[in-house]
Structure 1
Amino acid sequence: MSSNKSHVINLFKLHGLAVRSDGAKYLCELLDPLPKDEHDEWIEKVIDAVQKLPISSTLISKEHIHKAAQEVGTSENDDIENLLQIVDIYKVPKLMYNLERKKFVLAPTRARDLHGDASDKAALFRDRYTVVYQRTCNHDLFRQPVVGMTDDDNKKFGLTKVEFLMGSSSRLEEVVTLGLLTQLVEGQHHLEDDTGAVRLDLTNTKFHTGLFTHNCFVLVDGWYEDGLLHANAIGLPPPEAPSSTRALIGNINYFGGQGNVCAKNNPRLQQIEQENKDAMFVVLSDVWLDKIKVTEKLQTLFNGYAQFPPTAFIFCGNFVSSCHGAQQAHDLRQALGSLGTLIAGYPELMAHSRFIFVPGPNDPGPCNIYPRPTSPANITEEIKKAVPSAFFVSNPCRLLFCTQEIVIFRENIVAKMCRNCVYFPANSDDIPAHFAKTLVSQGHLAALPLHVLPVYWGLDHCLSLHPTPDVIITADKGDSFTTTHNQSIIMNPGSFAKTDFSFKVYMPATRQVEDSQIADDDT
């Protein structure tokens, strides 16, 4: 071997680490094919990667060396194919709050039952509440004041638990409570947290901006007396800057994908992201492949991008215009096969672009309980043979491009949230802004009752938006929009078939979104 174990062990000792003999031997074997004068440089990179692993001891095993070497190998690969990762939603890590360490950590990896049991349902709401509660407590308005501070300009608010309210026999003024807005009894609203539920009086309530739906978390400012919380004002929990959230979480990979560390902290990926000015994502929704006009417009689209291939085309369902039983799957299979033949006629797109398909609510497959798995293999096999770069993903799905986190959700979520509002905003012209604020404040894609938007209890964390990702694409059948909130871009491409063939184009280098359309005169 070109490098000996004692040299590796000594280099680790310089960093305060003790590597096991089998680990040092394994690293020497990895270094053996490389030029000897580069060994020390690679060992330092492995040591740096080891220090970023979630280890609880200075004793480094062979397994730690293996994980660190994989991380170094991934980060050193300049191939553009590895800059875009399609994250398996069912392998997304779960963040949990550790009371002893007072920070979010990764939950132990375990096999999760798809349907879960009663404890999983209870944990679903408890985990959502914990994320929002800890984030709110960390906000400047709710953080505990410094001892001795008397400046009135730095007034702090304390959060009162429901259990404390219910245990009080006297009137309580200026109460601020964080809880889940629910309707436990028909015609009566309640506020529920992890200690209990109290009835709400919304008679003279002032609502702040946002969509206040059943099963969303709200801050209630009011007074309590005789088992009734009288709400003077209701607002959404404050968001937390994603950079602040990541600083508190640490360098762990919470988003999913390759590697054990967060891509955000990789300066090399940041540089590639800024230098790759031509990278773009073309996003379409309601791509009805059974309509001749739609396929004609797709051909026009491919003609336009043939010389400038985007990083990826993101096609969101529904992929057929109507549901018609068993025949629907057969028709979709044929339509996808025809699309594959069309794409195969553009070798530049085939070579440099990926084609990502997100199933819609009415597409063939399992019932609409989220996260919804990919489209059945018997429907997609023909297009996959014709287009190797075609990827059929789950709904929702996650993409990681360099350091940017992208979440895609194909559901008529805006319409459902508007229908289930306790209070509909007076300024209905700016629904996208209200929607974006609600989505980010909840830190979750499904802030609705489970009978309105069903979720697999054991996989609820797959719909989490904590920390807030860079881009959230909610493909809704309503009007297209683009808005920003808490350093995140929230956009809806709208229905491609119903909006005169409009779509969105996102450019990661500049974080800009362009509204695009295929006009009739382009054909």
Structure 2
Amino acid sequence: MMESDPVPSSSPGFGTPAHSLRKSRPNALPTKTSILPILLPPSTLRPVAFRTFTRKHNLTISSSALQALSTFVGKNCGSGWREDGLAERVLDEVAKSWKKAGGGVIVDEGKGASLRAILHTMESNMSGGRVVSGKHTSTDEAPSITTNTAQGSKYSKKEPPSPTLVPPEDRNITGDLDVNLHPRHWIRVVDAFDMPRLTYNADKKYFEVARSKPTLFPPSSHKSTLFRDRYNVVHQRLLRHESFHSSSGPSSGISRQYSSSATNQGYRLTPIANLLGRNGTSHLILGLLSISPTGDLTLSDLSGSIALDLRHARMVPENGAWLAPGMFVLVDGIYEEENIRGSTLGGNSGVGGAIGGIFVGVSICGPPCERRETSLGLNSQQTGREVSSSGGLGWIDFLGVGSERARGPRMRQIEAQYLRGMHKGTKFGRRPRVAIMSEVNLDNMRILDALRKIFSNYNDLRLEERPIVFVLIGNFVQKAIINSSGQVGSIEYKEYFDALSLTLSEFPALLQHSTFVFVPGDNDPWSSAFSSGAASIVPRHAISELFTSRVKRAFAMANTNLDSTQSSEPPGEAIWTSNPSRLSLFGPVHDIAIFRDDISNRLRRSAVGFSDDTNLTVAENMKVTAKETGVPETSEQPGSNLASTTLFARKLVKSILDQGNMSPFPLASRPVLWDYVSSLQLYPLPTALILADPEALPFCITYEGCHVINPGKLVPEGELSHVRWVEYDVLKNRGKVKHERF
């Protein structure tokens, strides 16, 4: 009776105890204690929020988010938010939920994860100002993957790819489930038009997603935004260089003997507008090389422009890179007002226009490159490359495959476990390799014989030794696709790919166990119909499905004989992607950029010439760490053809990577779609760059941790029975030039 009595008597006459004898249920939740809400000002909560979000979780909280949190804490924690430590515990749970949802480093509504949704979920699970453990619902979702065969991208059906959210197909993969997946499950081909459209916010020093809808006919303001963003990215990257730190001297940057602007506090940049009234003084300027309407070489930054005299300037390092209009350069020199030319180039208009006088350059160089680990805030000395607390852009998802902080550690664990299983021979013992072929001119019958030789070599190997990805890069025809007399038309172009499908059908084992990626060139449809073989607009779309149906049918026929129940390996597929595009493996761990362009010829035509100076030394931090694979190092003797080829490759690589952009040219020489310019960005540096330039000889060179590969022409001119391509080892981040006769 006493157990069923809700309020037992405590009278001594009945001999009952002073407390209730109810039996508590083991799974019962604690009674929800009522909290008297208070009005908590954001300024009062700011110290606790700074200690929890910034110091503990390396997050930055905005003013609007602080206002929302102060309202939430005041309502749900009441007067005990400080004395009982309730606020700090609640804020800690909010920070963990924000990071788990893949939010950015700046906690703000609308930037990545939803703070409002996190607070709404947490409020229903609070009791007495505390979050009830075990009741907090997970935001993980079941995977729902669909394959976009046109672009080769895999995204969830429930939500589109977001630049700051973890792709939902990987959210619920925990434990050993993702480890047991075949490594080809982690391959993503990202089309240039599917990449996040990021713009750099100079005030917040952070990348933001462009909110405007992309279009092929944007307003004219987007054109100026294009170069402003490029300048801001290079500028913030330059200021993080050790040569511009006050704690380090200039000896580690540009050689002191060639810089008159060096001080004991490091280098300092001078805006062009600040040159007015400072005649005869030395300055270091970061600006954009350009040609004025009068034909003079000018230097421009966000504050103005000035005429540039490089007749006596010397490059650092000597002959180390090409510097052409459209590139950003560092110029150390002297400002002269109203010099002997007498031209003011628009008058002394000051800020916003061209200023009078001329800037006489003494030394010039490109902005020093920054390693990928530095840009992302990775500590390469630690195991697993954990993200350090020193800053960086680790929270930004540049490709739509997950950010370094959100997915990098887990993906590296999966890669490490896969490697251990591969060495033991118990799991997919297939080392990730990529076979890269460029200038695959299908209208040349010798090309099909060369491809048949390459595929035959790999088909004779064991499955463990075959590449998991084959990259075929255009131009797929030698002449532009134009429906006119004497030119190749659409019917002939389709027949060329039909012939390729017959060649591929001879090797069903490769089609079943590999991914084939096709990247177009300037001569491929449909842009070539308007450019007539000239430089077309980039990025450019993938080749239309009108021409690729037979190739896809060959893969479908090969996969019908594949027993998918015996292996977790996905079937082989053909992916037609844009130019440029990205190939990702294990999320953000391996990022391979692919770009087809005749870039070396364009650089040599438009580069600025300098006087030779054999006594000019190379600054230590500007040296290129290069390795020519496939050729003995002892054969690189001064004056030999091999040495000149290697120097040419180093010069080409340094020219591109220092600019952080695949197309650092004026829009007149290389047109660019203004709203998709972020797809051309090489910041942070990818792990590898496939720079398919058929006019340059094949090479494999590493510069600042980025491995640059040029496969050259598949069949060199004058060598009709010789085929060459590059085999790239993803895990070693090294490529090797392969040669065969057929």
Q: Following TM superposition, by how much is the alpha carbon of 1:49 offset from its aligned partner in structure 2, in angstroms? A: 5.6
Change (3 A) 1:115 1:432: farther
Larger Rg: 2
Question: Secondary structure of 2:475's partner?
Answer: coil
Q: Following TM superposition, by how much is the alpha carbon of 1:90 offset from its aligned partner in structure 2, in angstroms? A: 1.1
Question: Secondary structure of 2:608's partner?
Answer: strand
Question: Secondary structure of 1:90's partner?
Answer: coil
Question: Which residue does the alignment assign to 2:474?
Answer: 317
Q: Following TM superposition, by how much is the alpha carbon of 1:329 offset from its aligned partner in structure 2, in angstroms? A: 2.4
Q: Does 1:446 align with 2:607?
A: no
Q: 1:289 aligns with which of 431, 438, 442?
A: 442
Question: Secondary structure of 1:422's partner?
Answer: coil
Question: Which residue does the alignment assign to 1:24?
Answer: none
Question: Which residue does the alignment assign to 1:32?
Answer: none
Higher relative contact order (CA 8 A, sep 6+): 1
Asked whether the equivalents of residues 310 and 610 of structure 2 are also in contact (C-alpha less than 8 Å), the reply is no
Q: Following TM superposition, by how much is the alpha carbon of 1:261 offset from its aligned partner in structure 2, in angstroms? A: 5.3
Q: Deviations over 1:490-518 (max 9, x none)?
A: 12100112253111010012122111022
**How far apart, CA to CA, are the structure 2 residues paired with 1:72 and 1:130?**
34
Q: Does 1:423 align with 2:609?
A: yes
Change (3 A) 1:261 1:237: closer
Q: Does 1:197 align with 2:305?
A: yes
Structure 1, 247-256 or 350-359: larger mean CA deviation: 247-256
Asked whether the equivalents of residues 207 and 396 of structure 2 are also in contact (C-alpha less than 8 Å), the reply is no
Structure 1, 47-56 or 507-516: larger mean CA deviation: 47-56
Change (3 A) 1:443 1:294: same
Q: Following TM superposition, by how much is the alpha carbon of 1:94 offset from its aligned partner in structure 2, in angstroms? A: 3.5
Q: 2:192 aligns with which of 72, 75, 89?
A: 89
**How far apart, CA to CA, are the structure 1 residues paired with 2:592 and 2:169?**
24
Q: Which runs of structure 2 are paired with 1:436-475 in the superposition (5 Å)?
A: 436-475=653-692
Question: Which residue does the alignment assign to 1:482?
Answer: 700
Question: Which residue does the alignment assign to 2:381?
Answer: none
Change (3 A) 1:374 1:51: closer
Q: Following TM superposition, by how much is the alpha carbon of 1:305 offset from its aligned partner in structure 2, in angstroms? A: 0.9
Q: Does 1:246 align with 2:296?
A: no
**How far apart, CA to CA, are the structure 2 residues paired with 1:313 and 1:391?**
10
Instruction: Kindly indicate which of the two structures has a greater share of residues assigned to helix.
Output: 1
**How far apart, CA to CA, are the structure 2 residues paired with 1:74 and 1:425?**
59
Change (3 A) 1:437 1:264: farther
Q: Following TM superposition, by how much is the alpha carbon of 1:474 offset from its aligned partner in structure 2, in angstroms? A: 1.0
Question: Which residue does the alignment assign to 1:342?
Answer: 503
Instruction: Kindly indicate which of the two structures has a greater share of residues assigned to strand.
Output: 1
Q: Does 1:491 align with 2:709?
A: yes
**How far apart, CA to CA, are the structure 2 residues paired with 1:457 and 1:315?**
27
Q: Following TM superposition, by how much is the alpha carbon of 1:145 offset from its aligned partner in structure 2, in angstroms? A: 4.7
Q: Does 1:255 align with 2:398?
A: yes
Q: 1:372 aligns with which of 540, 547, 555?
A: 540
Question: Secondary structure of 1:503's partner?
Answer: strand
Q: Does 1:161 align with 2:275?
A: no
Q: 1:503 aligns with which of 725, 730, 733?
A: 725
TM-score (norm 2): 0.60
Question: Secondary structure of 1:325's partner?
Answer: coil
Unaligned runs of 5+ in 1: 8-14, 20-42, 147-151
Question: Which residue does the alignment assign to 1:56?
Answer: 108
Amino-acid identity (%): 26
TM-score (norm 1): 0.84
**How far apart, CA to CA, are the structure 2 residues paired with 1:74 and 1:175?**
55
Question: Which residue does the alignment assign to 1:362?
Answer: 523
Question: Which residue does the alignment assign to 2:652?
Answer: 435
Q: 1:142 aligns with which of 239, 244, 261?
A: 244
Q: 1:214 aligns with which of 316, 325, 330?
A: 325
Q: Following TM superposition, by how much is the alpha carbon of 1:274 offset from its aligned partner in structure 2, in angstroms? A: 4.7
**How far apart, CA to CA, are the structure 2 residues paired with 1:485 and 1:160?**
29
Question: Which residue does the alignment assign to 2:413?
Answer: 268
Structure 1, 64-73 or 204-213: larger mean CA deviation: 64-73
**How far apart, CA to CA, are the structure 1 residues paired with 2:433 and 2:203?**
43
Q: Deviations over 1:431-458 (max 9, x none)?
A: 2111111211111001111111110111
Q: Which runs of structure 2 are paired with 1:389-408 in the superposition (5 Å)?
A: 389-402=573-586, 403-408=589-594
Question: Which residue does the alignment assign to 2:152?
Answer: none
Q: Does 1:175 align with 2:283?
A: yes
Asked whether the equivalents of residues 140 and 172 of structure 2 are also in contact (C-alpha less than 8 Å), the reply is no
What is the Cα-based RMSD across aligned positions, in Å? 3.2
Change (3 A) 1:142 1:497: same
Asked whether the equivalents of residues 313 and 610 of structure 2 are also in contact (C-alpha less than 8 Å), the reply is no
Number of positions where the alignment pairs a residue of Structure 1 with one of Structure 2 = 479
Asked whether the equivalents of residues 329 and 366 of structure 2 are also in contact (C-alpha less than 8 Å), the reply is yes
**How far apart, CA to CA, are the structure 2 residues paired with 1:299 and 1:480?**
21
Question: Which residue does the alignment assign to 1:410?
Answer: 596
Question: Secondary structure of 1:229's partner?
Answer: strand
Asked whether the equivalents of residues 52 and 251 of structure 1 are also in contact (C-alpha less than 8 Å), the reply is no
Amino acid paired to 2:187:
L
Asked whether the equivalents of residues 493 and 503 of structure 1 are also in contact (C-alpha less than 8 Å), the reply is yes
Question: Secondary structure of 1:515's partner?
Answer: strand
Asked whether the equivalents of residues 412 and 476 of structure 1 are also in contact (C-alpha less than 8 Å), the reply is yes
Unaligned runs of 5+ in 2: 1-26, 31-51, 58-67, 70-92, 110-114, 122-137, 142-164, 249-261, 338-356, 378-390, 423-429, 529-535, 557-572, 615-643
Q: Following TM superposition, by how much is the alpha carbon of 1:486 offset from its aligned partner in structure 2, in angstroms? A: 1.2
